[in-house]
Each structure stands twice: as structure tokens, then as C-alpha cells.
């Protein structure tokens, strides 16, 4: 039996902005490191659970996420307002917001209840 060959691409390859991809990779790497840090803090006893714990309810997780969003808002205000996009403090807080959201998604996936579409 002849080996089935992959179908020819129907659309031409699109230009990939490698600089943009690299920048996103840095951001996702930082979020992943923050997730790891959260788990180390939990292991050290700083808090009893992270949002990745599938046994904790969504109602327990939302305040954690909102607290992080609040800290991002505070960092933005302390840095002089919404136009200060270069604020390292704001960036750090947004990474924490994203890491908490990632943890929560991990819990949803662990429950095997993944909402679709």
C-alpha cells in the first residue's frame, strides 16, 4: 500500500514576525516562571492552595484573581496613570494576573470540564 502523502498547502505561507514571536515567548516564559513561584510559595506554607487546586471552588478563586487585578491597578496609579506603559511594577503585576488565570485554567482542565466554543 502506497504511503499517503500530506495534502499540499491550500494557502500560501504567511509572513511570521519573529520579533513579535520572541517577545510573546518572553512574556509566556515569565508567566510560567510566576506559576512555578506560586507553587513554591504554597509548598513553603505561605498559602494553603493556589488557584490550580481543582478541589477549590471557582468562588474561592475569583477573589484571588481580582486581588491581583487590583494590585495591577494600584501599580498603574502609582506609576502615574494609564499612559505609563513602561512601568516595571505594572508589568510584574500583570504577569501575576496572568499566572493566576493560568492556574485557574489548570484546575478547570484537571476537573476534565473544559468549556468549548
Q: Binding residues for Mg ion, per CB under 5 A?
A: 68, 71, 93, 96
Phi, psi of 73 (to 5 degrees): -65, -40
What is the smallest separation between the CB atom of 100 and Mg ion, expressed in angstroms? 9
Q: How far is CA 59 from CA 44, 63, 69, 72, 116, in A?
A: 24, 7, 16, 21, 21
CB nearer to Mg ion: give 71 or 84: 71
Q: How far apart are CA 95 and CA 31, in angstroms?
A: 5
Would you say 87 and 73 are in contact if contact means Cβ atoms under 8 Å apart? no
Cβ-proximal residue to Mg ion, closest one? 71
Nearer to Mg ion, 17 or 60 (CB): 60
The H-or-E segment that residue 40 falls in is: helix 18-43
Would you say 50 or 96 has its CB closer to Mg ion?
Answer: 96
Q: How far is the CB of 33 from Mg ion (least distance, A)?
A: 14
* Minimum distance, C-beta of residue 93 to Mg ion, in the bound complex (Å): 5
For Mg ion, the closer CB: 54 or 70: 70
Amino acid at each position: 500500500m502506497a504511503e499517503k502523502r500530506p495534502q499540499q498547502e491550500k494557502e500560501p505561507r504567511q509572513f511570521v514576525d519573529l520579533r513579535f514571536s520572541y517577545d510573546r515567548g518572553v512574556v509566556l516564559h515569565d508567566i510560567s516562571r510566576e506559576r512555578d513561584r506560586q507553587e513554591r510559595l504554597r509548598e513553603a506554607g505561605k498559602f494553603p492552595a493556589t488557584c490550580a487546586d481543582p478541589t477549590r471552588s471557582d468562588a474561592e478563586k475569583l477573589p484571588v484573581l481580582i486581588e491581583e487585578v487590583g494590585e495591577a491597578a494600584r501599580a498603574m496609579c502609582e506609576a502615574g496613570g494609564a499612559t505609563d506603559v513602561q512601568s516595571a511594577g505594572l508589568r510584574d503585576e500583570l504577569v501575576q494576573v496572568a499566572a493566576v488565570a493560568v492556574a485557574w485554567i489548570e484546575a478547570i482542565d484537571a476537573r476534565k470540564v473544559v468549556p468549548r466554543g
